[in-house]
Amino acid sequence: MTDTESQTPRTPSLEMRGVTKRYPGVLANDAIDLEVKPGEIHALLGENGAGKSTLMNILYGLAEPDEGEILMDGQPVTIHSPADAIARGISMVHQHFMLVPVLSVAENILLGDEPMANPIFLDRRAAHARIRELGTNFGFDVDPDAKVGSLSVGWQQRVEILKALYRNASILVLDEPTAVLTPQETREIFAVLRQLSSELGTSVIFISHKLYEVLDIADRITVIRRGKVVGERIPAETNEDELAQLMVGREVQLTANRGESKPTDVMLVADGVRVADDRGREVVHGVSFEVRAGEIFGIAGVAGNGQDELVEALTGLRKTMAGRVTLAGRDISAATPRDLHEQGVAFVPADRHRFGLILTMPITDNIVLTDYHVPPYSRGIVRNDDAIRARAQECVTEFDIRTPSVSVNAGTLSGGNQQKVVVARELDRDLKLLVLDQPTRGLDVGSIEFIHARTIESRNADTAVLLISAELDEVLELSDRIGVMYRGELVAVVDARGADKEDIGLLMATGGRISPEATKVMSAELEQVS
C-alpha cells in the first residue's frame, strides 16, 4: 500500500452510525447514517419534521440518541451537552441567532470561552487581536466593539461564524443560514464557507430546503425523509427535480403554475403612506401603490426596510403618520384589525409565533382566533365548543394539517403545519384583499407548494393579493407585478414578466434608484414584447 492510497479514503471527520431517536409516538430518527469528510461541505436536505434538527441536536448534545453511535476522526465519542460538543470542535449556527444584542461583537464571541489574563480579568486585548485577524483572513472586517444589536442580519450571521472560527471548530453546522439573506449576501457567505473548507479543512454541515442553493454549495447532499436517509447525491449527478422528489416522496411542482392574471377593479390603494417604527422614527416614507382584484402584487426587499411597518399599518396593527389607504374606495387608514377582518381582509403575518398563533393553545382556538366572537363560534359571551371543533376539523381536513387531533397545542406542530393553520383561518372565506407577509419563511417544499397554490387560487377567485417577501424567488414566482422596497421607499415597480432576478436583487441591496419614468418605459417595453 503506498502513501497516496492510504490517504485517499480519508477517515471521515464525523460519522453518525445507525442513530435512532424515538419521541412518544414519533420515530424522529430511524437508523440514520451520516458521514462527513474533512473539508467537505455536506448538505442535509429534508422537509420540516423530517428529522434534520433532531439529528443535529443529537450531534450538538441537546438530545441523547436511543441507539447508534457518533465517531469523530474514527474515534467513538459521546456528547452529553453543547459544552461537550464545543469542546470537541463542533459549532452550530442556529436559524435564530444565539447572540446577545446588547453585548459587543467581541463579548458575544468570547461568551462561554472567556480568555483570562489572570484569574479575575478577561484578556480583552488578545481576544480583540484574534477576532480582527480572523475577520481579516475571511474578508469580514467587523469592529469587535460594535454592538451586535446594531448590526444587520447578514453581519450577525458572520459574527456567529466568527464565533465558530474563534473556537477552532472543525465541524460547523449551519441551520438554514440563507433564509434571511439577499442573493448578494448569500454569495458572500458561500464564499466564506468555501474558504473555510478549502483553507482550514473545516467540515460544514449545511441544512437547507433551497434546492438550488444546496446544488450550488454542497460537495455532497444527504436527503432525509420521515427520519430516514432516502438518498445521498453529488450535485453534479442530480438536479432540483430529483432532490425535491426524494425529499417529499412524490413528484413536486417546483414552480407554481401561475397562469394568466385577469386584474379587474382597483381594490387596495396606498397613497403617500408614512409609518413610524416602535421608537417613533419614520421608516416608511410616503409609499404609494395600488393592487387590483385578481392580481398578485409582490413587494421585494431585504428584511428591515420598512416592509414590516408598512404591512402592520395596512392591516390595522400600527397607526399611519400620514397618507391614505382605501379598500374598494372606502378609507381604511384608521381601521382596526377587526374592522378589516369584517371587510374581507385576510392577513398572514410574517411572524406566526408573534402574531399568527397562540402556541400554547389548541388548534381549535387558533382556527377561530379572529372569529371567536361571532356565531356560530359563540352566542353572546358563551363559546360554542362543538361549532369550534367542527370548524377546526374541517380546516384540518381541507388544508391537510398533519396533527393527531384538533385539541393539540399549535406549538407542537411543525412549522409547515403551523402555517397551514394560519392560512386555513385566513383564506377559507370570502375575501377582498389577502395580505401575505413572508408566507413561506422556514417552510418545507411541500408546504410551500401548497401555500403558493392556494395563493394563486385566491387570486383567480378575484381577490387582490399583496405579497411581501424577503425571498426574491418567491416574489418572482408568484407576483404579477413587483415593487422593491429600500429604506422605506418603493424604489421601483415593474411587471413580473421579464423581470430580471439580478436587477431586482441589486435594487433590493442598493435601492439603485430607477426613475419613475424609466420604470414606465420598462413596463411599456415589456407590454410590447408580450
Partner 1 sequence: MAENPVSRSRPTLIRRIGQLVIVPAAAVVGGFVVGGVIILISSLANGGLDFGLPFSAYGSLFQGAFGSLRGILFTIVSAAPLVLGGMAVGLGFKAGLFNIGAQGQFLMGALGAAAIGAYVAGAPGIVAIPAAIGAGALFGAAWGFIPGALKAWTGAHEVVTTIMLNFIAGALIGYLITGPLEAPGFSFSRTGPLGNAELPILFGTSIHLGVFIAFLLIPVVWWILWRSTLGFEIRTVGANPDAARYAGMHPAAITILTMSLCGLLAGLAGAGQILGISHFMNASYGSSIGFDSISVALLGRAHPVGIMLAALLFGALRAGSGLMQIQAGIPVEIIDVIQAMVLLFLAADVMLRRLLRVRGPSIEPDELATVSKTYGSGTI
Which residues would be at the binding site for partner 1 (CB under 8 A)? 24, 315, 317, 336-338, 341, 347, 349, 354-361, 365, 369-370, 372-373, 378, 381-383, 385, 404-405, 407
Whether 170 and 89 have beta carbons less than 8 Å apart is answered as yes
Residue among 341 and 432 whose Cβ is closer to partner 1: 341
Tracing cell 480568555 back to the chain, one arrives at 115
Query: Taking the C-alpha atoms of 69, 73, 78 and 82 in order, what is their torsion angle to the nearest 10 degrees?
Result: -120
Whether 147 and 155 have beta carbons less than 8 Å apart is answered as no
Residue among 271 and 394 whose Cβ is closer to partner 1: 394
45: cell is 436536505
Q: How far apart are CA 191 and CA 17, in angstroms?
A: 31
Whether 318 and 307 have beta carbons less than 8 Å apart is answered as no
Beta-carbon count within 10 A of 200 CB: 17
Least spacing, CB of residue 360 vs partner 1, in Å: 5
Least spacing, CB of residue 50 vs partner 1, in Å: 20
Whether 205 and 197 have beta carbons less than 8 Å apart is answered as no
Residue among 39 and 51 whose Cβ is closer to partner 1: 51
Residue among 57 and 178 whose Cβ is closer to partner 1: 57
Residue among 310 and 491 whose Cβ is closer to partner 1: 310
Residue among 264 and 407 whose Cβ is closer to partner 1: 407
Tracing cell 451537552 back to the chain, one arrives at 81
Sheet of 296-300: strand order equals 345-348, 433-437, 464-469, 296-300, 481-486, 489-495
Residue among 186 and 364 whose Cβ is closer to partner 1: 364
Least spacing, CB of residue 62 vs partner 1, in Å: 12
Beta bridge partners of residue 90, listed in sequence order: 171
Q: How far apart are CA 146 and CA 102, in angstroms?
A: 10
Residue among 333 and 378 whose Cβ is closer to partner 1: 378
Least spacing, CB of residue 145 vs partner 1, in Å: 26
Residue among 116 and 382 whose Cβ is closer to partner 1: 382
Least spacing, CB of residue 369 vs partner 1, in Å: 5
Least spacing, CB of residue 356 vs partner 1, in Å: 7
Tracing cell 482550514 back to the chain, one arrives at 200
Q: What are phi and psi of 109, to 5 degrees?
A: -70, -35
Least spacing, CB of residue 420 vs partner 1, in Å: 17
**E strands within 234-359?**
266-276, 282-292, 296-300, 320-327, 330-331, 345-348
Least spacing, CB of residue 427 vs partner 1, in Å: 16
Max CA distance (Å), the chain = 85
SS3 call for 324? strand
Beta bridge partners of residue 45, listed in sequence order: 208, 223
Buried residues in 29-53 as b, exposed as e (16+ CB within 10 A): bbebebbbbbbbbbbbbbbbbbbbb
Q: Please list, in sequence order, all residues whose beta carbon lies within 8 angstroms of the beta carbon of residue 152, skipping any fewer than 6 positions away.
A: 304
Least spacing, CB of residue 321 vs partner 1, in Å: 18
Residue among 117 and 361 whose Cβ is closer to partner 1: 361
Q: Could you give the angle at the alpha carbon of 354 between the alpha carbons of 348 and 359, nearest 5°?
A: 95
Least spacing, CB of residue 426 vs partner 1, in Å: 11
